[in-house]
Amino acid sequence: MRAAGRDALRATVVDAAGEILAKEGPAGLTMRRLAAALGCTTTVLYTMFASKQGLIDAMYREAFDRLTARMRAIPHDAPPAERLRLGGLAYRENALSSPQLYQLTFGAAAPEHTPGPEARAAAEASLEPLIGIVQACIDAGLFRPEDPRFIAQVLTAAAHGAVSLELSHYFWSQAEAEQRYATLCAAAAQAFAR
């Protein structure tokens, strides 16, 4: 099987597993249940992932890989402030497009899961595009010269808080959620303004 086909199959399996996890919780996500949902044998799944832990690690990696891809798609030639705004939108869109994977990455969906080294590396790599955007903001004089990793982590924490509230249906409408998200992200960025 070609790499593109493997990647597409893996994404299909990960999405199906995410749906089961969202609907039935960690106890409902079994290799047998997933195989039934996909119309395949458990042997196929064990060949792909080796274990349920391997499957959850793959889900974790896929979630962060998707975020990284969205962040890397931001045009590098856009002004730094626009890149920062687009980064915030990319983070929110990523979470809303796969809420079950988003919640998995932050421990809410499978709190007993401890990510393996590759999964942790994917999480760390997902912050790199934002660090680059923050550095561009520092270089342009928009942010004070502070550690760009620290700033990126604070901005991510603010975005995460707003997205988590949105996913838990805290806001009355999508318009309200969008407005609160934009306001919080802008306020977090303002904390580092020059």
pLDDT tens for 78-101 read 999 999 999 999 999 999 998 888
| Comparison of pLDDT for 107 and 22, the residue scoring more | 22
Judged against a pLDDT cut of 60, whether residue 1 lies above it is answered with no
Tell me the HSE value of 118 on the side-chain side, using a 13 A CA sphere: 12
Burial (0-12, 13-18, 19+ Cβ within 10 Å), 194: exposed
Which residues lie closer than 8 Å to 125 by C-beta, 6 or more apart? Answer: 64, 68
* Buried/exposed code over 120-129 (b: 16+ C-beta within 10 A; e: otherwise): eebbeebbeb
Secondary structure of residue 193 in the 3-state scheme? strand
Q: How far is CA 23 from the centre of its chain?
A: 19
- Give me the percent of the chain exceeding a pLDDT of 90: 68
**Per-residue DSSP letter, 51:** S
Contact 48, 34 (CB under 8 A): no
Give pTM, 2 decimals.
0.87
- Please name every residue paired with 143 in a beta bridge, in sequence order, or none if there are none: 193
Ordered by start, the domain boundaries in the chain are: 57-190
Q: What local confidence, expressed as pLDDT, does residue 24 receive? A: 86
Q: How far is CA 134 from CA 30, 84, 101, in A?
A: 41, 7, 26
The dotted CATH code for 57-190 is 1.10.357.10
pLDDT one-digit tens code per residue, 128-149: 999 999 999 999 999 999 999 9
Secondary structure of residue 61 in the 3-state scheme? helix
